[in-house]
Structures are given as structure tokens and as C-alpha cells.
Amino acid sequence: ATYRELWDGAAMFFDARNPHDLAARLNRLSTDAELRRELGQAAMRRSRRFTLARQAAAMRGVYDKAALAMVGR
């Protein structure tokens, strides 16, 4: 997944090749307390999906698949 897929609606994105775009986003965040609050709350809710236990389980699944593939050779 890309950052945009993961954090859309919980973060602001900008064109990394365009410093004016970055400046505009930072300016908007610095002047819009409601937007900062909304994005912060959305990011906190979304981040709860990425617990250590879930990440460990996902990695174990990857290793299990790799091990099974090696056994089948």
C-alpha cells in the first residue's frame, strides 16, 4: 500500500518536487485549527490498526508462506 492509500483523509499530501505546494499545505495547517484537529484525530484512529501484534502476525504469515514454498520445491 502507498502512503496515500494508508493515510488519505488523515494527512495532507504535497508534490515533493514543488516547494510552493509544500508551503501552501504548511500554511493551511498553520492557520486552520479545525483541520489540524480533524486530521490528528483521523490519524490517531487509523494508526490503531498498526499494532505490534498485527504487524508481527502479518510478518509471520509472510514467513509461513515462504517456508511452505520452500518445502514444495
Q: What's the pLDDT at 73?
A: 74
H/E segment holding residue 58: helix 52-71
CA distance 27 to 12: 12
> Chain-wide mean pLDDT for the chain?
93
Three cell numbers, residue 19? 516547494
Q: What's the pLDDT at 1?
A: 63
**Mean pLDDT value across residues 59-63:** 95
In this model, does residue 43 exceed pLDDT 70?
A: yes
Three cell numbers, residue 36? 489540524
**Mean pLDDT value across residues 43-56:** 92
